[in-house]
Copies of this chain bind each other. A is one copy, B any other.
Amino acid sequence: MSRLFPRAIVAATALVAASASRAADPVLAPSEIVAAAPAADWTAIAPTDLLVMDLAPDGAGHPRRVVIQLMPAPFAQGWIANIRKLAAAHWWDGTSVNRAQDNYVVQWGDPDGEDKAKARVLPAGLVKPEEAAYSVVFPRIPMSLPDGRSVDRPANPLAVKWIVPSELRADPYSALVGTTASGWPVASDGASLWPIHCYGMVGVGRDMPPDTGSGAELYAVIGTPPRHLDRNIALIGRVIEGMEHLSTLPRGTGDLGFYKTAAERTPIRSIRLGTEVPGLPAWQYLSTESASFARYADARANRRDAFFIYPAGGVDICNLPVPIRRTPNVPKP
């Protein structure tokens, strides 16, 4: 792999490996590093990239709002265009959460979607993305060799920071893992890259290949990262607030965690684009390009705060969630 991304690997190794020079630093927990990050290290999430799902209130009457950040280009843009159309059409209003399988996924959409006689009619103009859209092929760029020949090498258009801590301490599912400059975890085989199934990621339910789903049926990961789904199903975003409203739903007792009766399903009041929701707060993510994120990643891989005895010396990409917060209220001067 070092043939492909020598600079990126050096940067990532430095990022994760223990650094002797920081012995004099205070030993902070990852959460403390995030709390101390300067405002400049946080990047705003555009309200146009938010999807807001309001479930029916819980038994005690408390509202249950789930906020999803949609992925940026070049990922999954076909399905995301469909999702924007579905939200704009208020298509999901009155649908439900139909499945909750412990240590796997919660899934929502039209409970009669499989029944052609009863299924809701989809809005006009949805696209049908192909399987190739599950990943992004790197462009190849020519590189001149010292002897005058020219070879193609893959470019790294998303400025991914790869995490390759050491030989035999990498990822079980792919040759490379890292975070894009736009703030998303990805895996790669050196020629293409793809978003990955971590806790809270949201994907597109589908039937058997070559069907890839429209985006009308969505799921969120609520357990061990099901990385075997990577490149087998489209990921379109991640839950950034209200995840507990999905992860605590009663598990379904039917096959695959589907609810056996309509009464067990949780009604969806509405799903809206963020721009359609009055008074919606704003969110930020910790820039994966920032010094604070590098310190955070190092601390996630090498816990040296007081509770810890053995720093692991490595971290699973799904155990390195990109920090997200509500944009703090800055008092006016």
Residues of A that sit less than 8 Å from B by CB: 1, 59, 102-103, 131, 134, 164-165, 167-175, 198-200, 208-209, 222-228, 230-232, 243-244, 247-251, 300, 303, 306-310, 312-319
Interfacial chain B residues near A308, Cβ < 8 Å? 209, 228, 232
Bound-complex Cα distance A247 to B248 (A): 7
Whether the pair B228, A319 counts as a contact (CB closer than 8 A) is yes
Whether the pair A306, B244 counts as a contact (CB closer than 8 A) is no
Whether the pair A315, B172 counts as a contact (CB closer than 8 A) is yes
A206 to chain B, nearest CB (A): 9
- A315: nearest residue on chain B (CB-CB)? B172
Interfacial chain B residues near A222, Cβ < 8 Å? 247
The 9 closest A-B pairs by CB, nearest first: A172-B314, A244-B251, A231-B310, A199-B224, A172-B316, A168-B170, A102-B244, A248-B248, A173-B312
Whether the pair A199, B223 counts as a contact (CB closer than 8 A) is yes
Partner of A232 from B309, B314, B316 at Cβ < 8 Å: B309
Whether the pair B225, A224 counts as a contact (CB closer than 8 A) is yes
Whether the pair A227, B172 counts as a contact (CB closer than 8 A) is no
Interfacial chain B residues near A300, Cβ < 8 Å? 228
Whether the pair B173, A309 counts as a contact (CB closer than 8 A) is no
Q: Chain A interface mostly helix, strand, loop or mixed?
A: loop
Interfacial chain B residues near A228, Cβ < 8 Å? 300, 303, 308, 312, 315, 319
Interfacial chain B residues near A131, Cβ < 8 Å? 309
- Known pairs A224-B319, A307-B208; A169 contacts B169 (CB<8 A): no
Bound-complex Cα distance A306 to B210 (A): 10
Partner of A316 from B175, B225, B231, B309 at Cβ < 8 Å: B225
- Known pairs A251-B248, A309-B232, A310-B232; A175 contacts B168 (CB<8 A): yes
Partner of A103 from B134, B199, B209, B307 at Cβ < 8 Å: B199
Partner of A249 from B230, B248, B307, B312 at Cβ < 8 Å: B248
Partner of A209 from B208, B249, B251, B307 at Cβ < 8 Å: B307
Selected A-B contacts with CB under 8 Å, 27 pairs: A59-B59, A103-B199, A103-B243, A103-B247, A165-B172, A168-B170, A168-B171, A169-B171, A169-B175, A172-B316, A173-B316, A198-B224, A199-B224, A208-B306, A209-B307, A209-B308, A222-B247, A223-B247, A224-B316, A226-B319, A227-B316, A228-B312, A230-B312, A232-B308, A232-B309, A232-B310, A247-B248
- A245: nearest residue on chain B (CB-CB)? B251
Interfacial chain B residues near A164, Cβ < 8 Å? 168
Interfacial chain B residues near A244, Cβ < 8 Å? 102, 250-251
